[in-house]
Structure 1
Amino acid sequence: MSNSKNPIVKKGLQLFNFLKKTYQAWDSTDPFARSAIIAYYTLFSLPSLLMIITSIASYFVGAEAVQGRIHTEIERFISKDVALAIEDMIGNVTLENDNWITLIISIAALIYGATGVFFQMKITMNLIWNVTEKKQNFKRMLINRAIAFGMVLVLGFMLLVAFVVTLGLNLLTEYLGQYAPEITIVFAEILRLLISFIFITGLFAAMFKILPDVIMSYRTTFLGASITAVLFLIGESLLGYYFTSSNPASVYGGAASIVLILLWVNYTCLILFFGAQITVQYALIKRHKIIPNKHAKLAHSDEMAALNEKKKKLDQDRRNALRLLNNPEEAPKKKKS
């Protein structure tokens, strides 16, 4: 049997071609520059973003519990020093003021800062999905900021859900640990990994569904989010090993925490954008319906319309030339001087 007829080889070639096409599409969007831009915005958005998220979740479970959860997650993803630095950032952001005008301005600045990173991410997502906004004015800018703020609220809600689920998991493992401690440890680790996967998949699904100006099926959204979550978890492990073994920010001294935040967000965005490109390429192969919403259009629709008009004009000129060639008497006669 030849290799071309071998189903395993055929599937392997299809997967290779799919990944090759995905990489080429991913590389064409200049992901490194766009990830750096989002990392820059994240650095300035982080205090406001975390304060809003903390405030939402703290309303239900208490500020100390939420801040402890954030500290644990950041320490797990990046490092203990970065977790402490971010905890200080949250503590330094305050809205206490007797002047209500100043308070309103502070809240507006807080929301504007918190939505900056998602606003920039929305621009990149539209580029990946090959759509552009029909109108770019002040009203549309406010709508985009509102959409970005919606992602902030989603983050706060998901943090609350994750906190409640983790609390329930801890209670369950403590109970089961009384009867089978060794099995319980393995069970708890598997369950935590599963919860992390579900949480991250839900977050990416929300980003794919809310941020880009496209309409796509939930099937496509969750499939792409699941693949991106797997890539993220693998990348998280590799980044954790890289940060621990090589300590890339050690040469920056007091600015090491800032550098680590920038590096982590930069690498994470690269993974996110690649996952988004996988979603787009898979949807194209499977012919899943993805169309721009009412506020957007295909990125090259104006150019295509101009090309079609030019083609129509060329076709008309060609027909006129053929008609004059076959009927020379119809050609306009020159006036005698």
Structure 2
Amino acid sequence: EEAAHGQIVAQLQGTLGTEAALAIEQAVAQSRIEESGVLPTILGFIALVIGATTVFAQMQFSLNTIWGVRAKPNSNSALIFIKNRLLSLTVVLSIGFILLVSLVLGVVLRGMLDATNDLLPFASLLTTTAESLISLAMVALLFATIFKVLPDVVLRWQDVFIGAVVTAVLFTIGRSVITIYLAYTATASTYGAAGSVVMILLWVYYSSLILLFGAAFTRSLLLRRGRPLVPRNSAVLVKHELL
């Protein structure tokens, strides 16, 4: 359990940065329930599903605004609500699977390079470089999944590939800048116990900006290629567009 915990924290640090990963670790540790049971587990799972799907449903609305589409008016609003929630849940599970694959690849790669540490003169450098590339690839895959699945627009993987890579690079650069900034400032000590929350909010705010910028960049790139915007059957184009 301790080994798994260490690997997860290390993966979070590689993806989100040291400060944000430690903030999440502290928040999870403080919210841990000592006495476990069936009912708390079920309630916690329901709360997690509702919270995660709500976030991605709002993200879908924002991406639809950027792409200039909206859902068709339908009398069966309850069915649409359930469909959107299931779609959001699918995205959440997909992202979780991608992160799990990233974690496994990182562990396997580190183990292989550690085993050949005596044979390779630059094993440490190779390990750091490979882990950075894997992290960048996984982040790009996450953004590509979000850009393709969530908006109510017919898109192909090649349509979102460049935008996802650019977004992942900006995301990684921004993560490094925020990590350096937090390392040389007294954010945590200034806000006391709320320092971890402030760090998480700062990271979420920046990540949201990068996500929306990446979606707008993907849309602009698609239009420059002369590709028409084709909404899905459940959506229509709107005359008033964001961009």
Note closer, same or farther for the CA distance 1:140–1:69 as it changes in structure 2 (3 Å cut). farther
**Among 111, 117, 122, which residue is 1:177 paired with?**
117
Match of 1:291 in 2: 230
> What is the SS of the residue equivalent to 1:215?
coil
Aligned 1:60-139 pairs, distance under 5 A = 65-75=3-13, 77-79=17-19, 81-88=22-29, 91-92=32-33, 96-97=37-38, 107-135=45-73, 137-139=77-79
User: Partners in 2 of 1:203 and 1:125 — Cα distance?
Assistant: 15
User: Partners in 2 of 1:293 and 1:184 — Cα distance?
Assistant: 49
User: Partners in 1 of 2:43 and 2:131 — Cα distance?
Assistant: 41
Quote the offset at 1:188 in angstroms: 1.6
Indicate yes or no: 2:96 matched with 1:165: no
Quote the offset at 1:95 in angstroms: 7.6
Q: Give deviations 1:21-71, integer Å, cap 9, x for gaps.
A: xxxxxxxxxxxxxxxxxxxxxxxxxxxxxxxxxxxxxxxxxx655543332
User: Partners in 1 of 2:136 and 2:6 — Cα distance?
Assistant: 21
User: Partners in 2 of 1:244 and 1:300 — Cα distance?
Assistant: 46
Amino acid at match of 2:38: N
Aligned 1:132-281 pairs, distance under 5 A = 132-135=70-73, 137-181=77-121, 183-281=122-220
Quote the offset at 1:300 in angstroms: 2.1
Amino acid at match of 1:151: V
Quote the offset at 1:121 in angstroms: 0.9
Amino acid at match of 2:210: I
RMSD of the TM alignment (CA)? 2.5
Note closer, same or farther for the CA distance 1:237–1:107 as it changes in structure 2 (3 Å cut). closer
Note closer, same or farther for the CA distance 1:164–1:107 as it changes in structure 2 (3 Å cut). closer
User: Which structure's relative contact order is higher, taking Cα pairs within 8 Å and 6+ residues apart?
Assistant: 2
Amino acid at match of 2:175: E
Quote the offset at 1:107 in angstroms: 4.3
> What is the SS of the residue equivalent to 1:132?
strand
Amino acid at match of 2:49: I
Amino acid at match of 2:99: L
User: Partners in 2 of 1:93 and 1:213 — Cα distance?
Assistant: 43
Match of 1:307 in 2: none
User: Partners in 1 of 2:11 and 2:186 — Cα distance?
Assistant: 19
CA contact (8 A) 2:71 2:236 kept: yes
Q: Give deviations 1:74-124, integer Å, cap 9, x for gaps.
A: 4451416414323325634998336xxx97666444321222211111111
> What is the SS of the residue equivalent to 2:171?
helix
**TM-score (normalizing by structure 1):** 0.64
Q: Which runs of 4+ in 1 moved over 2 A?
A: 63-76, 89-98, 102-110, 246-251
Q: Percent identity?
A: 34
Note closer, same or farther for the CA distance 1:168–1:75 as it changes in structure 2 (3 Å cut). closer
User: Partners in 1 of 2:152 and 2:2 — Cα distance?
Assistant: 37
